[in-house]
Chains A and B, each alone.
Chain A
């Protein structure tokens, strides 16, 4: 089944078949004029310049299973995704609402479990492999579990956004949001004069402020560190980047040790106490004494120190239970339960294949659906029905039947497209959006996001591990004057804040 391009919402063109200037959406009209005035080869040379700079700066990632272990660039697209101020305020309010509810859910599920007692979330969630019984009854500062959350959003029409998934463990990609912006300002300064684009580069400062705010009581000048699995991790650049931007140490597991429930790092002047660890290592590898005993990445005794209040981990241990695909379906109900509010952002309709009816429906319509592993991530282990071959469909069908509860299914969403520079020129490619929500004393997000783009024509998979690229995301500070509607100026407050 091949969709005609007309069935997709395009961020720039009202009608993709009509390239007339009149068919361009108001927020893109200035950009479109500029784009028309720039010859293709010039855009191409800008793209090459960007690649050269990224390579020189070492903004690269490692791909697992790649033999040569070479560092690769994530393709960078020079055409930005533009969001109107009012669109952004709606999305950010929805993302903040969602993260507040998810943090309350995590606190609840590791304490009184009221949401289970109320019958809103089934007790089977406690058997989920991402649920950490070690965390039961443990109090974390400010009751925050997901200090950094990446909320994946997709758009299917002018007004319809969906939350594709929540990333509450160690979401990555924010360095691309920041570096893509820097690159765009360097390549196209004239565009930044034409448009009033909300800045994003204070993200590391907000992050640091939040991390310092969640130190244990009584620590006045908390020492914050970033914990990385090391230089061979696929996101090492980002770990190094954030540590540098925050001015804190980038540590590996072997740099830390635990003594009397406190964590220390080995420095040239002897041991130094560590209060807050922004860890970019999964739960399973954090502490070889408790989790994966073979892990060389973690710190022996870390979990015990953590549970006894000797150190703060961000994100907390055990957040995986809340971003699991089996939990995802309950998030709208959580928002109502904990906040008494109507969800501002919608979930994608989801079929749980553990339910016989949903399973039967899914198997009958496999070629139309997207099927995902409940605990998969990074675009691995997933079936995109419309793009799959007969053989792939047949193979996946067998895997589903063998273990239905391992899968969920969703309708194939008509992900919006955004103009993108490809070999033939500018062409529409599918995109998603990942804003990063930060929770400390307040819940905030900077006005920007990681925008991922599937570089292959027609592809709906935007993950970098599957060849996806990134775009700069522009949130406009002021509403654009449209012929059909009166202008409205939002106040200059670029950060939305909700006090916990």
Chain B
């Protein structure tokens, strides 16, 4: 942003003030906040503006991380302490819509453990253009996502005397869920085909009544067919058991329909017509990784952890700690968990690994393989009682005397013997 843009954006900021603020070693975001403050105060003198900018810069430089600061340890404590205040188990319908999502500590643990599937997979599906504004069109997308099973479409009855399963499909439901068709008979015949393919039986269809039975009369086989029939997915995505549609207000005052799904199949959803593939997300970080890559996974980890903390009223945890965690987890191009099987388990130092979990195994394995410990890290040095290589612990002090009279005053001081 140029000075001119700044001046035109804020009423009480003139060129002189901008000239004072712009050269400061601050990010655009912080400069923006300075201008906003000046704006809120309805203008300040040039001198005051200079003082504000000076103070903000001084504070900013002061809060920067010093060399040799143990940022990882600080992050661990900064996340760990609020974590103690989190609810151990929350299973209630909070947050968005009526979808049950794991929250609190269990969710945080699940994220840093990088579980393959979350306890309650969920997607937030945004819609494209028309689909986001029109409820009927939005519903079309819902039917393409939500898995439709036979019980949602009609009634099943078993006729033991004739050894047949009868499915009486509901005409209205068929036309509602297959909006592109206008004849329920056509839909019913497609359903019959799906049943034939899935169960390997011959079906007879009359209108919307479908009938089939085992090849040879067998009571067990008949009941088995009914069981299998219930599991067939006729439409939608198998993993998604339920979709909730919600009208939401955007920041700019416009309204749009947003879908929340129980169950997640991120890849499948992205290619469905009407889905906005630029905003839709999943709470399964592995699916995000697979579809959008490691950088998106990193963003997702930060978003998910921050939201989990926020939900519990712990949003004063600085986001930098979560960014560090996400950076470490995605450092090698895949999602690695924090913990025994991930980061902590792959440390170079034997002692550091042994200090974490399953001590004996690590020591035994290390002994068998003749591993060495270079004592570079923190934990191993605490164990052996040496100074740790962080902060002042990593600074060597050299003592010696300088003979100023000496011709070569620039020579490096000789370390003394003690």
A and B bind = no
Instruction: List residues of chain B with CB under 8 Å of any chain A CB.
Output: none
